[in-house]
Structure 1
Amino acid sequence: MGSERRERMQALGVRLRELRTRAGLTGAVLAQRAGVGQPTVSKVENGRMVPSADVLGRLSRALGLDDATTREVRDLLALVEAASDMVEGPEDAMSVGAALDDAVRSARLVRSFQCVVLPAMLQSAEYARHVFESSPDSTPEAVGRAVADRVERQSLLYEPGRESVFVLTEAVLRTWPGNPALMLAQFDRLLAVESLSTVRLGVIPWRRAVPVMPRHGFTLCDRRAVVVEGFRGEQVVDDSAEIAMYEHTFARFEEAAIFGVEVRELLLRVMREFQELEHSATR
């Protein structure tokens, strides 16, 4: 990360902390009032993350600022824009997941479609490590932080009042990094998550034609944003027409997927195939 970008992010964090202290709030209370995770507030205040416009708005309202024309909000917005405009370095490339992190934390309904890689919220730590290590210019330190952040965010799956719907193609289950043992642990996690009352996990079997040719993964956060995932990071889209298009596309994928008992049977069947692979590898 460039020194100028780091300085501006730190300045943003200092400003937010000043406003929070002036309002007499702890970081935990501010996060609760804003509907974001406490780690998000901590990362922003410590200069480790630039909040999205949506998160900044939530924090501003939770701090009791009257409107977006006040000096405090103008200063925050200027700092955010200045920090976001700086050229990203190699370590910034490892911040894939930051935009998704903001959007998911503040959403009550999350719908994610994936056609190659498992959704971030379902990845085991070792699976996530392989994902981040494949990023250009990755470093062991940046990978370690990224994995820890991803695992920490997954606690949202267990929170009452949230709903998460994941739809995968069967190809996701059969596109694997590392070794069969890693995937066996990953399937254990998928089976555990599938049983949660807050989660619906669906898979489009390879024997079924897909209703739309998938080009990339995406995650809908409530009905206000969609995070489109690419090789270098994510793009947050808040245009209503674009969101409506992604919602329609997700509904078509969801309609083609199997759920419940059928999806558990499929997971167990593919898991047995990985067990056979592991057995073959140890002969």
Structure 2
Amino acid sequence: MDPNKDALNEIGRFIRNIRNESDYSSRRLARLAKISQSTLSRIENGSRVEDFSTVEKVVSALPIRSEVAGSLHARIRAAYASNYTRRADSGISLVSDIARGWERSAVTVREFQSGMVPRAVRSPEYAQAADASPSRLVDRIGDEDLDFACVVTEGALRTWPADGAMMLDQLDRVSWACELPNVRLGVVPWSVPLPVMPPHGFAVFDDEAVVVETFTAQMTITEPDAVAAYVDAYAQLEAVAVTGDEARELVERIRRDFEELAH
């Protein structure tokens, strides 16, 4: 339980009010503070972030007098200096709205899938056949404010939930996404051993949260050490994936195999 929740709420409201009075958008302030927009939203809503220096970056980016900034810095340090006992399950949530919130606001997303096509590039037919809820990333995949990278195994691209003809459209969508300037696709060929063996697919949002799909829910992980482990796992998987022309050629080869199945 956080004994200084009221103080964090007051700090968050103060920051939001100054931002609005200064006609700063949340995107602009987050960029000036060099933090993610989602982190700024958490601060303004009174949530405790891992390091008080993150909040101080926001204060330093605000157009306020030095004496006001100094007073606010002192309040921030006092709020973060109090005892704070984390629950055993702190940093893990099964609330679907939290996962959707990260999908709406994240600036950088890194996704790995070993059994299915990445959520951000699934066609509606594929998602329905896989009995998976649509991702809000599908609507953002071409947005220039989203930096999206994904690594998928060749086996995942060769696994289909319905007929092969449906997979032709799905693979076309993967190829289309490869051409977008804000998207980077890596494919791990079946002949390449994995450096780590993830028990499930996952998506890392702004290096601050990880969303994991289960059969019945989406789990959001924000505990820093756990998130860091996923970030490291993604980097290792990305290192063994083929990218660029090699990835596109591999996707096209898989598509040709599905064409033969469809006839």
Question: Which residue of 208, 230, 241 maps to 2:192?
Answer: 208
What is the Cα deviation at residue 60 of structure 1?
A: 3.6
Q: Distance in 1 between matches of 2:169 and 2:226?
A: 36
Match runs of 1:244-263 below 5 Å = 244-263=228-247
What is the Cα deviation at residue 54 of structure 1?
A: 6.9
Q: Does 1:102 align with 2:101?
A: yes
Aligned sequence identity (%): 34
What is the Cα deviation at residue 132 of structure 1?
A: 2.0
Q: Distance in 1 between matches of 2:244 and 2:98?
A: 30
More helix by share: 1
Q: Which residue of the partner structure matches residue 125 of structure 1? A: 124
Contact 1:168 1:203 in 2 (8 A): yes
1:15-44 Cα distance to aligned partner (Å, 9 max, x none): xxxxxxxx9xxxxxxxx7489xxxxxxxxx
Q: Which residue of the partner structure matches residue 68 of structure 2? A: none
What is the Cα deviation at residue 191 of structure 1?
A: 0.4
Question: Which residue of 236, 254, 257 maps to 1:270?
Answer: 254
What is the Cα deviation at residue 235 of structure 1?
A: 1.2
Contact 1:100 1:227 in 2 (8 A): yes
What is the Cα deviation at residue 155 of structure 1?
A: 2.2
Structure 1 portions without partners, runs of 5+: 1-22, 24-31, 36-52, 68-84, 89-94, 134-145
Contact 1:130 1:178 in 2 (8 A): yes
Contact 1:55 1:102 in 2 (8 A): no
Q: Distance in 2 between matches of 1:130 and 1:111?
A: 24
Question: Which residue of 53, 57, 68 maps to 2:42?
Answer: 57
What is the Cα deviation at residue 188 of structure 1?
A: 0.7
What is the Cα deviation at residue 56 of structure 1?
A: 7.2
Contact 1:99 1:234 in 2 (8 A): no
Q: Which residue of the partner structure matches residue 222 of structure 1? A: 206
Q: Which residue of the partner structure matches residue 242 of structure 1? A: 226
2:186 counterpart SS class: strand
Q: Distance in 2 between matches of 1:58 and 1:189?
A: 37
Q: Distance in 1 between matches of 2:42 and 2:192?
A: 43
1:142-164 Cα distance to aligned partner (Å, 9 max, x none): xxxx44xx3x5412111113210
Contact 2:99 2:211 in 1 (8 A): yes
Structure 1 residue runs of 4 or more that deviate by more than 4 Å after TM superposition: 32-35, 53-56
Q: State the superposition RMSD in angstroms.
A: 3.1
Q: Distance in 1 between matches of 2:141 and 2:113?
A: 17
Give the total of aligned pairs: 191
What letter corresponds to residue 130 of structure 2 in structure 1? V
Q: Distance in 1 between matches of 2:193 and 2:98?
A: 32
Contact 1:34 1:59 in 2 (8 A): no
Q: TM-score, length-normalised on structure 1?
A: 0.60
Contact 1:99 1:227 in 2 (8 A): no
Q: Distance in 1 between matches of 2:255 and 2:43?
A: 42
Q: TM-score, length-normalised on structure 2?
A: 0.64
What is the Cα deviation at residue 103 of structure 1?
A: 1.1
What letter corresponds to residue 213 of structure 1 in structure 2? M
Q: Does 1:187 align with 2:186?
A: no
1:215 counterpart SS class: coil
2:174 counterpart SS class: helix
What letter corresponds to residue 184 of structure 1 in structure 2? L
Q: Distance in 2 between matches of 1:174 and 1:55?
A: 40
2:131 counterpart SS class: helix
Q: Distance in 1 between matches of 2:150 and 2:242?
A: 11
Q: Distance in 1 between matches of 2:40 and 2:117?
A: 26
Match runs of 1:14-53 below 5 Å = 33=26
1:204-262 Cα distance to aligned partner (Å, 9 max, x none): 00011111122101110002111122221121111111111111111000001000000
